[in-house]
């Protein structure tokens, strides 16, 4: 194994490679921010991110997992295979209010830093372009296609208002559904008694959910809205669709809660005489597990950059498909502050923060911290051996049920919500 002196030199060289690309990374962040493409539509964005890697000598495979806006860029041939996830989808109407432009550009920066030392450290560096985090579960689809099977570890960052140590932050699992009520249309004035009102079924269901909320722990969340609710006032609505989601930190508790919410919709159908179908609308997101072997060196790297990293985060609400990745292999997904921002993600104000000077600093610092994390892991003989042994023993990905997956301990109460995920 290399000496401590060489370790420091390798980390310094990786950092210097990031700093040398600083202008390029900031320009890429602003370019991605300007595109603001939605889930599965990130064509210009994916091209910009993958082109930056191709120009740096990475081999790029586009359209992986049958997803036109997904890619894998690879550099090196070492046995320790690092997967850096680049998210880049935006939100409807408010653009990159979740700062995915920072995520994508910092992933590129970390990869450039690690490419500088990949041969020396026995690394294979992969950047996974993962579309549709906000809605659609791009990472879940890529997991199911085997895109993560050959990785030893995976990591990414998320911008927010606070620097948070990876080990102290988690996320809720989320499952999303559409409940469709079907009734019988009739003239609302001439013959309302002949109709079966699907809108009434939706109202009963929403009232039942509202009453259910007072019986729930603070770790749970239910949200719903009527996505189809009738066409005109003089026809009894025949078809009404309610989109809803259920979130929890523990996957077994989430399964039980889903059953209770389904019962609320069944109550609406029973009360009105409508028929009911409930179908998932996208892949379920699992709770996030943060691996301490990656989290500790990441926190140390952020601290060395002069950041004040908080041991207890405020990331109690929100979900990410990185949770599914973390349930399968060692991973981290820490929060890096956009310095001075007091704005909540998913707002116009945070979208502006994502291309502010502080947002640009977050791009570079995040890239350096990720690169230094992997250098530390690669040169720790004990940790490296553990991770490679776990990889060798790991079976190809198979989607777990909620009760089969590990879940982090849920906090006893939700602090102020500053989560940055979908």
Enumerate the domain spans of the chain: 4-171+285-404, 175-280
pLDDT in tens, 34-93: 999 999 999 999 999 999 999 999 999 999 999 999 999 999 999 999 999 999 999 999
Give 165's pLDDT tier (boundaries 50, 70, 90): confident
Cα–Cα distance measured from residue 234 to residue 192, given in angstroms and rounded to the nearest whole number: 9
Residue 193: how many CB atoms within 10 A of its CB?
7
User: Considering the chain, what percentage of its residues have pLDDT values greater than 90?
Assistant: 87
What's 403's DSSP letter?
A: G
pLDDT in tens, 269-289: 999 999 999 999 999 999 999
Query: What is the pLDDT averaged over residues 154-175?
Result: 90
The yes/no answer on whether domain 175-280 falls in CATH 3.40.50.10440 is no
**Contact, 244 vs 223, CB < 8 A?**
yes
pLDDT in tens, 292-331: 999 999 999 999 999 999 886 544 568 899 999 999 999 9
Say what the pLDDT of residue 402 is. 44
- Partnered with residue 277 across adjacent β-strands are 180
> Do strands 80-87 and 153-155 pair parallel, antiparallel, or not at all (unpaired)?
parallel
Q: Sort residue 120 into left (φ over 0), alpha (ψ -120 to 50) or beta.
A: alpha
Superfamily the domain 4-171+285-404 falls into: Zn peptidases (3.40.630.10)
Say what the pLDDT of residue 5 is. 42
Cα–Cα distance measured from residue 139 to residue 130, given in angstroms and rounded to the nearest whole number: 6
CA 42-47-49 angle, 5° bins: 95
**Claim: this prediction has a pTM higher than 0.95:** no
């Amino acid at each position: 194994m290399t000496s401590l002196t060489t370790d420091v030199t390798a980390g310094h060289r990786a950092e210097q490679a990031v700093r040398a690309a600083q202008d390029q990374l900031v320009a890429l962040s602003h370019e991605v921010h300007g595109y603001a493409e939605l889930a599965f539509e990130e064509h210009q964005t994916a091209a910009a991110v993958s082109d930056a890697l191709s120009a740096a000598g990475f081999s790029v495979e586009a359209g992986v997992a049958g997803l036109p806006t997904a890619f894998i860029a690879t550099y090196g041939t070492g046995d320790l295979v690092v997967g850096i996830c680049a998210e880049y989808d935006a939100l409807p109407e408010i653009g990159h209010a979740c700062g995915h432009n920072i995520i994508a550009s910092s992933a590129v920066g970390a990869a450039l830093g690690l490419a500088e030392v990949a041969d020396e450290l026995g690394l294979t560096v992969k950047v996974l372009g993962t579309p549709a985090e906000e809605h659609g579960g791009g990472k879940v689809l890529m997991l199911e296609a085997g895109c993560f099977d050959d990785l030893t570890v995976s990591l990414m960052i998320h911008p927010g208002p606070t620097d948070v140590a990876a080990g102290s932050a988690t996320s809720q699992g989320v499952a999303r559904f559409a409940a469709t009520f079907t009734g019988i249309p009739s003239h609302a004035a001439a013959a309302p008694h002949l109709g079966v009102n699907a809108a009434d079924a939706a109202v009963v269901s929403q009232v039942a959910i509202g009453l259910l909320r007072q019986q729930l722990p603070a770790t749970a969340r239910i949200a719903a809205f009527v996505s189809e609710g009738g066409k005109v006032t003089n026809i009894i609505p025949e078809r009404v669709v309610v989109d809803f989601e259920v979130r929890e930190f523990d996957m077994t508790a989430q399964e039980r809660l889903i059953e209770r919410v389904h019962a609320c919709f069944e109550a609406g159908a029973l009360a009105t005489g409508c028929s009911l179908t409930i179908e998932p609308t996208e892949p379920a997101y699992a709770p996030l597990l943060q691996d301490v072997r990656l989290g500790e060196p990441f926190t140390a790297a952020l601290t060395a950059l002069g950041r004040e990293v908080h041991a207890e985060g405020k990331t109690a609400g929100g979900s990410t498909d990185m949770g599914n990745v973390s349930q399968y292999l060692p991973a981290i997904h820490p929060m890096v502050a956009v310095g001075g921002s007091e704005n909540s993600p998913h707002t116009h104000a945070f979208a502006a923060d994502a291309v502010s000077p502080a947002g640009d600093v977050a791009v570079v610092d995040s890239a350096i911290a990720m690169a230094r994390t992997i250098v530390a892991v690669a040169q720790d003989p004990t940790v490296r051996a553990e991770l490679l042994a776990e990889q060798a023993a790991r079976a190809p990905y198979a989607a777990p049920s909620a009760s089969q997956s590990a879940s982090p301990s849920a906090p006893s109460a939700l602090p102020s919500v500053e989560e940055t995920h979908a």
